[in-house]
Amino acid sequence: MSADRRRRSEPPADEASGSDRDRRSGPAATDDRPAAPRPNILRRYWSSTLGLVVTAGVLAVLLVGGLALGAVFGLDAYHKRQDDIARNGALSAAKTTVSNFMSVSASSVDRDLKRTLSGATGDFKREYQNGMAQTKAAVVENKVDSKARVLWAGVVTSKDKSATVLVAMDATVKNTNAPDGRRAHYRVQVTMAEQDGRWLVSKLDFV
C-alpha cells in the first residue's frame, strides 16, 4: 500500500484525540457532585451515635436516681443525727437538774436553789418556786449538806421537743440528826421540754 493511501485511511489527529478524551472523561468528569458515602460507613456512624445517645441517657437516669437516693439517705441521716442530738441534750440536762435538785447546802442555799430553778419549767418550776422559802428555812435550820451523784440515766421516751428520762442516783445527806451523813438511793423520773434550744425539767417524780 502506498504512503498516500495509508494517510487517507488514518483518522485525523484532532478526531482521534477527541475520541480519546471522550473515553477518558466519561460521566464522572462532567459530574461535580461528591460521591455518596458507602452504606457500611453510614451504618457505623449512626450505630456509634445511637450508642452514645443511649449511653448518655442511661448515665443521666442513673445519675438522677443516685442523687435522689443520696438525698433520701442524706435526709434520713440528718433526721437521725438531729434525734440523737436532742436525746443527748435531754439526757444531759436531766442529769444536771436532778443532781442540782438533790444537792443543797446550808452554806450556799440561795445559789443552790436558784441553780435548780434555772433548769425548771412548767409545773415543776411553779411548785419549786412556791416552796423555795420553806425549803431554804428547813435547810438552814437543820444544817443540811446534801451531795448527789448520778449512777446512771436513760431516755425512756423521746418525741419532737419532749422526752422522759429516768435517773438513778446516790445522795449523802448530813444534817443535825445525822452529822456523819446518811447515804440513800433514789430513782427519779423527769419529763423534759425543749424551750429556745434548752432542755428543762417540766415534771419530777420519785419512783
Instruction: Give the mean model confidence (pLDDT) for residues 17-26.
Output: 48
| Domain residue extents for the chain | 72-206
Percent of the chain at pLDDT above 90? 54
The pLDDT assigned to 146 comes to: 95
**Does pLDDT of 71 surpass 70?**
no
pLDDT at 52 (0 to 100): 58
Phi-psi category of residue 180: left, alpha or beta, with phi > 0 → left and psi -120 to 50 → alpha: alpha
Do 182 and 200 touch, CB atoms closer than 8 A?
no
Mean pLDDT, residues 168-195 taken together = 94
Burial class (CB in 10 A: 0-12, 13-18, 19+), 99: buried
Arithmetic mean of pLDDT, 41-57: 57
- pLDDT for position 59: 63
- Calculate the average pLDDT of the chain: 79
Give Dmax (Cα) for the chain: 167
pLDDT at 123 over 70: yes
Which candidate, 103, 89, 100, 104, places its Cα nearest to that of 165? 89
Q: Is pLDDT at 204 greater than 80 in this prediction? A: yes
Confidence of residue 120 (pLDDT cuts 50, 70, 90): very high
CATH for 72-206 is 3.10.450.50
What is the model's pLDDT at position 173?
A: 93
pLDDT score for 171: 93
Could you tell me which residues come within 8 angstroms of residue 75 by beta carbon, excluding any fewer than 6 positions away?
A: none
CB atoms within 10 A of CB 188: 23
* Separation CA 143–CA 3 (nearest Å): 161
Percent of the chain, pLDDT > 70?
62
